[in-house]
């Protein structure tokens, strides 16, 4: 459906032209003064100079031309030269009814779908997921869903960290513990066992132990470096161990991500890109964009006009090893070859900003990525504790994601069971646990997504789990409230099938309707700006508008059946819009809570 703002802009432009003015810069926006009007146009102001007229005169002439406009109840010129527009009730009701009748809520998909790869999650194999990975997963998942909803082909890639020193550390520790394993026998030529020589909990314990030892023991660290180099050079036994580490880790990661409603299309990792490295480096040397510097191979990427120094991108260390940048460049080679994406978006901690500037510039310079492919870095801020410092456990350690989720679920369970017990004694514990999980997820995700991604935010369990205020549980509570009214209505034997929202309504109902019609514009804005927080702000406004309406109008007691059916239609639309939006944010609503 055409956006209301676009319809009104078009009509207003027409009126400016009919009154003899240019209309290029005329647009209609939401009103700054909702107490006076619904929409406004400031187009008369900049015309005053060339027309040698006061803006208010121009606005008056335009207002006259708009007098009969079918979309408006009134168009009024006010000092010093604004146009105040009030929407026609029948048009608004019509628009709402059309949205309600359409399965897609009137949303029109993009005409030219793009192929977009989103690189998010970025967990490191064998290290447990910690809260630092939470933001990438939450934000990336939402942007993926929004991109798909508007009609694009979006591919989510987890981009596992599986090629660094952590692999060498694990191999070294494993060799110390079980030197007899066949993986360490250099002369072994047979098949390796299909069963991994460790479980996921062992693996999770092995890595921190190894990491701790390497910090204290120089020899140990050198062994780990050597093991990393041998793995990267293709030593068979180590490759087989890498495969085991990956299998065990990925199974566990999938389980964790699925608890977060996060799903990836590709489970590729840094190691998958390595086969592209040699040719890529050779091309960079041949074309002359890379040069030796203190034994390393580097690409100069500073550009005129840089406000800060951008150091050269190192693509090969002096000992011949690959680096983080090498891997990201090779991954781009792979992505271009396999998917020819129109865009690659990275959702990564904003402290990696410099790395991505270097990688993007090198990729362009080396011709790995052509001008038809957009590269975007969405750097997110840090999740802090109430003390304003990066979120930690009470003991000051790194908080594991599972524990954080458990804390939230426990808190939610407490609230939900208290709530349930206050209503009746009949209380189903396992049901309450299920609901606590659903609501808990909304608390975590909404708490994160309602902030602009690039900003740091404070993770505040008390605030995030509250049923009041700008929180996930508040949004779900609103949806549940609507569901329960709809259920009561149909349980009483009534049906709103084929009925419409009426043209007569009060101010609170109108406010709710004016919020709902913004749907398409908000989703498109959120898509274009990679900005899920806009959807959060939108559903918060809708929830507030709905709850005001709910408190003012007694829906179930309405005696006029037509009017009541109209309310039900409006409620149904409100529910569908809210549900669609939370689906795009990556969580769902229970039936009751």
The least CB distance from residue 363 to ligand ARG, in Å, is: 12
**CA–CA gap between residue 152 and residue 155 (Å, rounded):** 10
Site track for ligand ARG across 401-440, x = CB under 6 A: ----------------------------------------
Whole-angstrom Cα distance, residue 162 to residue 267? 11
Measure the CA–CA gap between 479 and 483, rounded to whole angstroms: 6
Query: Which residues, including other chains, have CB under 8 Å from residue 48's CB and lie 6 or more apart?
Result: 54, 55, 58, 81
Q: Does 159 bind ligand ARG (CB under 6 A)?
A: yes
Q: Is 328 in the site for ligand ARG (CB under 6 A)?
A: yes
451: nearest Cα among 346, 352, 531: 531
Shortest distance (Å) from residue 127 CB to ligand ARG: 8
**Shortest Å, Cβ 254 to ligand ARG:** 17
Q: Is 163 in the site for ligand ARG (CB under 6 A)?
A: no
Task: Give the CA distances from residue 325 to residues 351, 352, 363, in Å, rounded to whole numbers and listed in that order.
Answer: 15, 11, 10
Q: Which is nearer to ligand ARG, 185 or 353 (CB)?
A: 353
CB 511 within 8 A of CB 548: yes
CB closer to ligand ARG, 159 vs 534: 159
When asked if residue 141 is in the footprint of ligand ARG (CB under 6 A), the reply is no
Number of residues that this document lists for the chain: 593
DSSP E strands: which ranges in 422-490?
457-458
The site for ligand ARG, by CB under 6 A, has a size of 8
Task: Check residue 161 for interaction with ligand ARG (CB under 6 A).
Answer: yes
For 227-278, give the secondary structure using H, E and C.
HHHHHHCCCHHHHHHHHHHHHHHHHHHHHHHHHCCCCCCECCEHHHHHHHHH
Q: What is the C-alpha to C-alpha distance for residues 458 and 579, in angstroms, rounded to an integer?
A: 26
Cβ-based nearer residue to ligand ARG, 357 or 511: 357
Which of 119, 141, 515, 520 lies at the binding interface for ligand ARG (CB under 6 A)? 119
Cβ distance to ligand ARG smaller for residue 269 or 447? 269
For ligand ARG, give the closer residue by CB, 382 or 543. 382
Which listed residue (163, 346, 380, 391) binds ligand ARG by CB under 6 A? 346
Dihedral, CA atoms, 416, 421, 426, 431, nearest 10 degrees?
A: 10
Q: How far is the CB of 405 from ligand ARG (least distance, A)?
A: 19
To ligand ARG, the closest distance from the beta carbon of 443 in angstroms equals: 25
Distance CA 565, CA 558 (A): 9
Q: Is 553 left (phi over 0), alpha (psi -120 to 50) or beta?
A: beta
- Nearer to ligand ARG by Cβ, of 13 and 159: the residue is 159
Measured from the CB atom, the residue of 123 and 566 that comes closer to ligand ARG is 123
β-partners of residue 155 are 117
Using a 10 angstrom Cβ sphere, with 0-12 exposed, 13-18 middle and 19 or more buried, the burial of residue 229 is middle
Q: How far is the CB of 292 from ligand ARG (least distance, A)?
A: 25
Name which of 220 and 346 has its Cβ closer to ligand ARG: 346
Q: Smallest distance from the beta carbon of 167 to ligand ARG, in angstroms? A: 13
Which position's Cβ is nearest ligand ARG?
Answer: 122
- What is the spatial distance between Cα 333 and Cα 368, in angstroms, rounded to a whole number? 6
Please tell me whether residue 144 binds ligand ARG under the rule CB under 6 A.
Answer: no
Choice from 196, 277, 348, 441 touching ligand ARG (CB under 6 A): 348
Q: Write down the residue that tokens 């899920």 correspond to.
A: 532
- Comparison of 161 and 447: residue with beta carbon closer to ligand ARG: 161
DSSP 492-516: TT---TT----S---HHHHHHHHHH
User: Candidates 7-15, 118-126, 363-371, 538-546 — which segment interacts with ligand ARG by CB under 6 A?
Assistant: 118-126
* Region binding ligand ARG by CB under 6 A among candidate stretches 116-124, 277-285, 428-436, 462-470: 116-124
Binder of ligand ARG out of 122, 156, 341, 532 (CB under 6 A): 122
Per-residue x/- mask for ligand ARG, residues 287 to 326, rule CB under 6 A? ----------------------------------------
Q: How far is the CB of 164 from ligand ARG (least distance, A)?
A: 8
341 binds ligand ARG (CB under 6 A): no
128 touching ligand ARG, by CB under 6 A: no
Nearer Cβ to ligand ARG (143/513): 143
Closest CA to 416 of 201, 158, 283, 590: 590
Task: Return the residues of window 359-388 that contact ligand ARG according to CB under 6 A.
Answer: none
Residue 321, phi-psi category: left (phi > 0), alpha (psi -120 to 50), beta (remainder): beta
H/E element, 314:
strand 313-316
Q: Which residues does residue 77 pair with via DSSP β-bridges, in sequence order?
A: 83
Which residue, 346 or 550, is less far from ligand ARG as judged by CB?
346
Instruction: Rank residues 268 and 501 by Cβ distance to ligand ARG and give the closer one.
Output: 268
Contact between residue 587 and residue 445 where contact means Cβ atoms under 8 Å apart: yes
Alpha carbon 539 to chain centroid distance? 15
The answer to whether residue 124 forms part of the interface with ligand ARG (CB under 6 A) is yes
**What is the pattern of x (binds ligand ARG, CB under 6 A) and - over residues 65-104?**
----------------------------------------
Would you tell me which residues interact with ligand ARG (CB under 6 A)? 119, 122, 124, 159, 161, 328, 346, 348
């Amino acid at each position: 459906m055409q956006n209301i703002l676009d319809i009104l802009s078009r009509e207003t432009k027409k009126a400016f032209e009919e009154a003899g003015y240019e209309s290029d810069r005329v647009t209609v926006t939401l009103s700054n003064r909702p107490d006076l009007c619904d929409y406004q146009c400031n187009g008369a102001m900049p015309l005053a100079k060339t027309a040698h007229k006061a803006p208010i005169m121009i606005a008056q002439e335009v207002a006259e031309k708009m007098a009969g406009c079918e979309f408006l109840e009134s168009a009024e010129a006010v000092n010093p030269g604004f146009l105040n527009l009030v929407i026609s009730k029948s048009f608004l009701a019509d628009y709402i009814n059309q949205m309600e009748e359409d399965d897609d809520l009137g949303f029109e998909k993009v005409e030219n779908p793009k192929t977009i790869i989103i690189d998010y999650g970025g967990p490191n194999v064998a290290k447990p997921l910690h809260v630092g990975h939470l933001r990438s997963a939450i934000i990336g998942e939402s942007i993926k869903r929004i991109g798909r909803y508007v009609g694009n082909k979006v591919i989510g890639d987890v981009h596992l960290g599986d090629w660094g020193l952590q692999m060498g550390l694990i191999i070294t520790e494993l060799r110390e513990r079980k030197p007899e394993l066949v993986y360490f026998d250099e002369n072994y030529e047979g098949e390796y066992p299909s069963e991994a020589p460790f479980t996921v909990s062992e693996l999770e314990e092995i890595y921190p132990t190894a990491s701790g030892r390497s910090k204290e023991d120089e020899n140990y660290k050198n062994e780990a470096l050597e093991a990393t180099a041998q793995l990267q050079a293709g030593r068979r036994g180590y490759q087989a161990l890498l495969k085991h580490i990956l299998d065990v880790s990925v199974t566990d990661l999938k389980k964790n991500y699925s608890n977060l409603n996060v799903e990836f299309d590709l489970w590729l990792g840094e190691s998958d890109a390595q086969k592209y490295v040699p040719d890529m480096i050779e091309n960079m040397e041949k074309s002359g964009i890379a040069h030796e510097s203190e034994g390393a191979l580097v690409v100069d990427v500073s550009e005129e006009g840089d406000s800060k120094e951008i150091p050269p991108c190192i693509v090969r260390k002096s000992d011949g090893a690959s680096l983080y940048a090498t891997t990201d460049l090779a991954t781009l080679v792979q992505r271009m070859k396999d998917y020819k994406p129109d865009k690659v978006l990275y959702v990564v901690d904003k402290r990696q900003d410099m790395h991505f500037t270097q990688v993007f510039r090198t990729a362009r310079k080396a011709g790995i990525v052509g001008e038809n492919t957009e590269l975007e870095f969405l750097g997110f801020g840090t999740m802090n504790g109430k003390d304003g410092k990066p979120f930690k456990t009470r003991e000051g350690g790194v908080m594991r994601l599972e524990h954080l989720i458990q804390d939230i679920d426990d808190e939610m369970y407490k609230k939900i069971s208290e709530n349930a017990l206050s209503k009746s004694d009949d209380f189903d514990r396992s049901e309450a646990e299920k609901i606590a999980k659903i609501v808990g997820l909304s608390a975590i995700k909404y708490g994160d997504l309602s902030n602009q991604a690039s900003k740091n935010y404070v993770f505040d369990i008390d605030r995030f789990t509250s049923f009041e205020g700008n929180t996930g549980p508040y949004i779900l509570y609103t949806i549940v409230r609507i569901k329960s009214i709809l259920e009561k209505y149909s349980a009483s034997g009534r049906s709103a099938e084929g009925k419409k929202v009426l043209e007569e309504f009060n101010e609170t109902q109108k406010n709710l309707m004016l919020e709902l019609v913004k749907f398409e514009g908000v989703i498109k804005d959120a898509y274009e700006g990679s900005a899920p927080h806009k959807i959060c702000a939108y559903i918060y406004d809708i929830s507030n508008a709905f709850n005001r309406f709910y408190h003012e109008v007694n829906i179930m007691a309405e005696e006029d059946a037509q009017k009541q059916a109209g309310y039900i239609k409006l409620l149904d639309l409100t529910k569908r819009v809210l549900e669609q939006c939370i689906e795009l944010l990556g969580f769902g609503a229970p039936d009751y809570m």
